[in-house]
Amino acid sequence: MALPAPLHGVIPPVCTPLDACGEVDTGSLARLVDHLLDGGVHGLFALGSTSEAAYLTDRQRAVALETVVTAARGRVPVLAGVIDTTTARVLDHAKAAARLGADALVATAPFYTRTHPREIAAHFRHLRTATGLPLVAYDIPAAVHNKLTPALVRELAADGTLAGLKDSSGDDGSLRRLLVSLGGRTARPSGPAPGFAVLTGSELTADAALLAGADGVVPGLGNVDPAGYVRLYDAARAGDWPRAAAEQERLVALFAMTDAGPESEMGRSSSALGAFKAALQLLGVIEGRATALPQVPLSEEAVAEVGRRLKDASLAAGRPAP
Of 63, 106, 163, 212, which one interacts with a second copy (CB under 8 A)? 212
- Angle between helix 58-72 and 87-99 (nearest 10): 40
Q: Is 122 in the site for a second copy (CB under 8 A)?
A: yes
Shortest CB 206 distance to a second copy, Å: 10
Q: Is 16 in the site for a second copy (CB under 8 A)?
A: no
- CA–CA separation, 180 vs 187, rounded Å? 9
Q: Report the residue number, 300 or 319, with the smaller CB distance to a second copy.
A: 300
Q: Report the residue number, 75 or 126, with the smaller CB distance to a second copy.
A: 126
Segment (H or E) for 135:
strand 135-139
- CA–CA separation, 42 vs 77, rounded Å? 8
Of 54, 98, 158, 227, which one interacts with a second copy (CB under 8 A)? 54
* Binding to a second copy in span 160-179, by CB under 8 A: 170-173, 176-177
- Cα–Cα distances in angstroms (integers) from residue 224 to residues 73, 228, 307, in the given order: 21, 9, 12
Shortest CB 320 distance to a second copy, Å: 28
Q: Is 123 in the site for a second copy (CB under 8 A)?
A: yes
- Cα–Cα distances in angstroms (integers) from residue 90 to residues 99, 109, 205, 273, in the given order: 14, 10, 30, 24
Q: Give the binding range for a second copy (CB under 8 A) out of 26-34, 276-284, 288-296, 300-308.
A: 288-296
Shortest CB 59 distance to a second copy, Å: 8
Q: Give the binding range for a second copy (CB under 8 A) out of 48-56, 70-78, 215-223, 225-233.
A: 48-56
Binding mask 55-94 for a second copy (x = CB under 8 A): xxxx-x----------------------x-xxxxx-xx--
Shortest CB 114 distance to a second copy, Å: 4
Is-cis flag, bond preceding 12, omega within 30? no
Binding mask 175-204 for a second copy (x = CB under 8 A): -xx--x---xxx---------------xxx
Q: Is 239 in the site for a second copy (CB under 8 A)?
A: yes
Shortest CB 38 distance to a second copy, Å: 27
Strands lying side by side in the sheet with 104-108? 9-10, 216-217, 197-200, 164-167, 135-139, 104-108, 78-81, 44-46
Q: Is 211 in the site for a second copy (CB under 8 A)?
A: yes
Shortest CB 175 distance to a second copy, Å: 8
Shortest CB 209 distance to a second copy, Å: 8
Are 7 and 199 contacting, i.e. CB atoms less than 8 angstroms apart?
yes
Are 87 and 63 contacting, i.e. CB atoms less than 8 angstroms apart?
no
Residue 114 exposed, middle or buried by CB count within 10 Å (0-12, 13-18, 19+)? exposed
φ, ψ of residue 320 to 5 degrees: the values are -60, 145
The total of other beta-carbon atoms located within 10 Å of residue 233's CB is 24
Q: Give the binding range for a second copy (CB under 8 A) out of 72-80, 143-151, 158-166, 227-235.
A: 143-151
Q: Report the residue number, 266 or 280, with the smaller CB distance to a second copy.
A: 266
* Binding to a second copy in span 258-277, by CB under 8 A: 264-270
Q: Which residues of 5-27 are buried (b: 16+ CB within 10 A; e: fewer)?
A: ebbbbbbbbbbbbbeeeeebbbe
